Amino acid sequence: MQISNVTSGHMAKMSMQLNQSEAKTNSFSDAIDKAMNDKDTKELKKACVEFESYFLQLMLKEMRNTVTSKDGALPKGQEEQMFQEMLDEENSKNIASGRGIGLADMMFRQMTKNI
């Protein structure tokens, strides 16, 4: 995207996404800190799985961004984009709650060494 094509709408959307991402990151950080302080391994494992799920969601979103809407038969509308984001979120939760990609397990093992 060229800078000249950036509108105030694009800037507002990017700002909102950054704020949501920061809030999500802070909530993970708070959950992990609380679990570590309370020495609660169940809550720590839950926070690690949630982090892995969020990581997978971001990865799916970025992978999808590499495919332009021109590649499909029809251009994507806002409704389809919203549905796709919700589907990616659910898929990432399902992947992480199963065996996942191992990120949650590695984080959990590393953090439980400090408990």
Interacting residues of 31 by C-beta distance below 8 A, sequence separation 6+: 43, 46, 47, 50
Q: Which DSSP state fits 100?
A: T
Which pLDDT score, from 0 to 100, does residue 32 have?
A: 85
d(CA 34, CA 45): 12
The helix (run of H) or strand (run of E) holding residue 45 is: helix 41-65
* pLDDT mean over 26-40: 86
Task: Decide: 104 and 45 in contact? Cβ < 8 Å.
Answer: yes
CA count, 13 A, side-chain hemisphere, 71: 5
Torsion angle of C-alpha atoms 97, 102, 106, 112, degrees rounded to 10: 20
Which pLDDT score, from 0 to 100, does residue 2 have?
A: 47
* pLDDT mean over 68-97: 83
* pLDDT mean over 84-96: 92
Which pLDDT score, from 0 to 100, does residue 74 have?
A: 67
Whole-prediction pTM: 0.70
Q: Answer yes or no: is pLDDT of 29 > 90.
A: no
For residue range 53-79, what is the model confidence (pLDDT) as tens digits? 999 999 998 988 887 666 566 667 888
Which pLDDT score, from 0 to 100, does residue 54 have?
A: 92
Quick one: pLDDT band at residue 11, thresholds 50, 70, 90?
A: low
